[in-house]
Structure 1
Amino acid sequence: MSLISQLRSYLLRILHSFTHNTPNPPEGPADERESPSCRFPLDDDSSDALTLPDGRKLGYAQYGSRTGKPIFYLHGLPGARTEAACFEDLAIELDARIIATDRPGVGWSSPHPDRSLLDHPKDLEELAKHLQLEEYGVLVGTANITFYSKDTGISGGGPYALACAASLPAESLKCVSIVCGLGPPDIGMKGACWANWLGFTFGYRYFPTATGWYLKRQLAAHLDLSDEQRFQRLRQEVLRDKSMHEKDREIMNDESTLRLFLRTSRQSFSQGADAVVQDGQLMCKDLGFRVEDIRPDLPVQLWYGKHDVAVPLNHGIQIAARLGGRAALRIEDETHLSIWANCSEQVLKELVRCL
């Protein structure tokens, strides 16, 4: 397919979304709060906000054991702190303290218009001081499906985890685990689903405004609908998608998982789509550091799936090659979603062991 044809396909997709994906009028109050059955905590009892030295707010949530081994969780794209609620029971069992943050402009965090990837580790340092943490690990997971099936979001915490590895002090950061995380932009998106390939090859780079329009037309961003209305529509979309991988379908048929993802998407788009677009733009630029220069004594665990079409396996292979002997690459017979569902216990155990 020629470059012109690829661009035409991308723009037609946006136009189709804009003209054909208009939501029906809400069937009830948009701000109604249902109390559905869900095995994950959906409330804000675990959430708080820290005022940073420059006056910005940093939203964060804590899950698992409050006295356990501290692990900062970096959410996906789109994503929010609340996606880490899926760790609550497992983290208690493994004595882990999961601290998930909202990136700027997401959830409870203030926007930060001129930021770089390397600014977020500085925010984490401030949070670590506030929580009186001397040592901690960093985790990037795939615990988000803001967009269902093969049009899922991406593990956008990957570049931020690498930024943490490159800049946080050795006496504090003891280990990093990246699960299906996006790598440096020069790796490319060959092998990704068409939506992610187009988005990261063209959309975020050259058409950020159009990409923002596209994002706002998705079900995840329709915050005028109640979560119950969005839940029913998401279930219908899952049923209509005949191309979904069976491993993903099993996950998408779980009611608690869907409700948590919808809760997270509400946080992700609560301030609009600008922060999501900004996130994508930063991931398409030079990272501001070289992966090869990350300190050699830092243990880095890489978990990637053979059937992942959100973040191609090649990202894990290339990150491992650039890190050299300090990286442990695990390739699993999983998708972008199923690797977390089936490997999360192993991932957390390894992190806790390092701490």
Structure 2
Amino acid sequence: MFKAIIAALVIGFLALGFKSIRPPPPSICGSPGGPPITAPRIQLKDGRHLAYREHGVPKEMAKYKVIFFHGFGSGKHDGSILPPETAEEVGVYLVSFDRPGYGESDPDPKRTMKSIAFDIEELADKLGLGSQFYVIGYSMGGQLVWACLKYIPHRLAGATLIAPVVNYWWPGFPANLSKEAYYEQFPQDQWTLRIAHYLPWLTYWWNTQKFFPSSSVIAGRPKFSEQDVQLITHLSSANMQKVNVKQQGEFESLHRDLMIGFGSWEFDPLDLENPFLDNKGSVHLWMGDSDGLVPVTLQRHIAGRLPWIHYHEVSGGGHLFPYADGMREAIFKTLLFGEK
């Protein structure tokens, strides 16, 4: 009897443990009981959908067509990277889209950096953006720019990375440099990234358990700089819109972002070659030197290893530096017209 009770308790604890680490199924948009579909979407070859939103001047009138990749916990509504005045002055059409699992875009459990690059190419073709287009990625969205430079460089007219999140496990980083930068993060974020990289099957549990603090970003308490704090008080809700970005579930949006972004990549960005040897395009990397979320030391190393990238370091800039006065205009005009 005693052995039977012990066995039953062990089985019970194992069942509870399995339940706690197994993420719930996503609530797919348009499915019975799921969130409604309210945005325009394109259907990909594999049947999935990407929801998008258009900004700037009408596509038919635009001189420049840009695809924007949103950051962690954001979505297609954040097109505020393009000032309306710049769009009208220069003639810019910008499309932002919900990355897989965010907002109203279907999740992609098989997502890789390579697959998302081809999703982007298909989005451009379905929207009729032409043979070449520009890409801009902010924060976590910057990682998609690396994927485009690797897998679809022939489709790019130019590219900009803004405070792009780095993966501390890229082989091209010197071990001492990446280790030093890694330990500059909050201890709770070190654990979050360590689990996403080494034990991705525990990512859901780690970010939902109550025993230890998990991601400071998910908790809404990231390592913001003094400039970031000042900018937050002036940013309107339109600039920081996060409408229904997690409505299909945090696992397929936030948690899978961590697993892909900090997992083992199929390539090392530091091995990439210049896609614009003909000088008909350029790649730019913008970084604030006071960014508390992304280490500036690693961006400097990237710029040194890849001299074909035009590196712009903003003195006193935090992670939100693009929203400081004049920065968004400078970022766009530098991408479209070259160095000033």
- In the TM superposition, residue 248 of structure 1 has moved relative to its aligned partner by 1.8
**1:20-54, CA deviations, whole angstroms, 9 ceiling, x for partnerless residues?**
xxxxxxxxxxxxxxxxxxxxxxxx99x52101111
User: Are 2:157 and 1:164 aligned?
Assistant: no
- The separation in 1 between residues aligned to 2:218 and 2:308, in whole angstroms, is 39
Residue in structure 1 matched with residue 26 of structure 2 by the alignment: none
Sequence identity of aligned pairs in percent? 22
Q: TM-score, normalised by structure 2?
A: 0.72
CA contact (8 A) 1:70 1:137 kept: yes
SS in 1 for 2:82: helix
1:33-182 aligned at under 5 Å gives the runs: 47-66=39-58, 67-68=61-62, 69-89=64-84, 90-134=86-130, 135-141=132-138, 155-170=139-154, 172-182=155-165
- The separation in 1 between residues aligned to 2:224 and 2:216, in whole angstroms, is 18
SS in 1 for 2:303: helix
Q: 1:169 to 1:339 in 2, by over 3 A?
A: closer
- In the TM superposition, residue 56 of structure 1 has moved relative to its aligned partner by 0.5
- The separation in 2 between residues aligned to 1:267 and 1:218, in whole angstroms, is 20
Q: 1:267 to 1:214 in 2, by over 3 A?
A: farther
Residue in structure 1 matched with residue 234 of structure 2 by the alignment: 254
CA contact (8 A) 2:189 2:216 kept: no
- The separation in 1 between residues aligned to 2:226 and 2:266, in whole angstroms, is 39
1:25-40 aligned at under 5 Å gives the runs: none
Residue in structure 2 matched with residue 286 of structure 1 by the alignment: 264
- In the TM superposition, residue 292 of structure 1 has moved relative to its aligned partner by 4.0
Gaps of 5+ in 1: 1-43, 142-154, 223-233
Structure 2 letter corresponding to 1:335: G
- The separation in 1 between residues aligned to 2:207 and 2:215, in whole angstroms, is 10
User: Are 2:273 and 1:306 aligned?
Assistant: no
Residue in structure 1 matched with residue 313 of structure 2 by the alignment: 331
Task: Report how many residues are paired.
Answer: 275
- In the TM superposition, residue 214 of structure 1 has moved relative to its aligned partner by 6.3
Instruction: Please say which structure displays the higher CA radius of gyration.
Output: 2
Structure 2 letter corresponding to 1:291: P
CA contact (8 A) 1:166 1:293 kept: no
Structure 1 letter corresponding to 2:269: V
**1:73-112, CA deviations, whole angstroms, 9 ceiling, x for partnerless residues?**
1111122111224525133333221111111111111011
Residue in structure 2 matched with residue 273 of structure 1 by the alignment: 250
1:200 equivalent among 179, 193, 208: 193
SS in 2 for 1:81: coil
State the superposition RMSD in angstroms: 3.1
CA contact (8 A) 2:117 2:151 kept: yes
- The separation in 2 between residues aligned to 1:74 and 1:198, in whole angstroms, is 26
- In the TM superposition, residue 179 of structure 1 has moved relative to its aligned partner by 0.7
1:222-237 aligned at under 5 Å gives the runs: none
Q: 1:204 to 1:137 in 2, by over 3 A?
A: same
Q: 1:204 to 1:107 in 2, by over 3 A?
A: farther
- The separation in 2 between residues aligned to 1:314 and 1:348, in whole angstroms, is 24
- In the TM superposition, residue 340 of structure 1 has moved relative to its aligned partner by 3.8
Q: 1:94 to 1:193 in 2, by over 3 A?
A: farther
Q: TM-score, normalised by structure 1?
A: 0.69
CA contact (8 A) 2:67 2:136 kept: yes
Gaps of 5+ in 2: 1-36, 277-281
- The separation in 2 between residues aligned to 1:77 and 1:181, in whole angstroms, is 11
Structure 1 letter corresponding to 2:119: D
Whichever structure has more helix as a proportion of its residues is: 1
- The separation in 1 between residues aligned to 2:216 and 2:88, in whole angstroms, is 33
Structure 2 letter corresponding to 1:65: V
- In the TM superposition, residue 192 of structure 1 has moved relative to its aligned partner by 3.3
- In the TM superposition, residue 338 of structure 1 has moved relative to its aligned partner by 2.3
- The separation in 2 between residues aligned to 1:185 and 1:198, in whole angstroms, is 13
Residue in structure 2 matched with residue 39 of structure 1 by the alignment: none
- The separation in 2 between residues aligned to 1:204 and 1:163, in whole angstroms, is 18
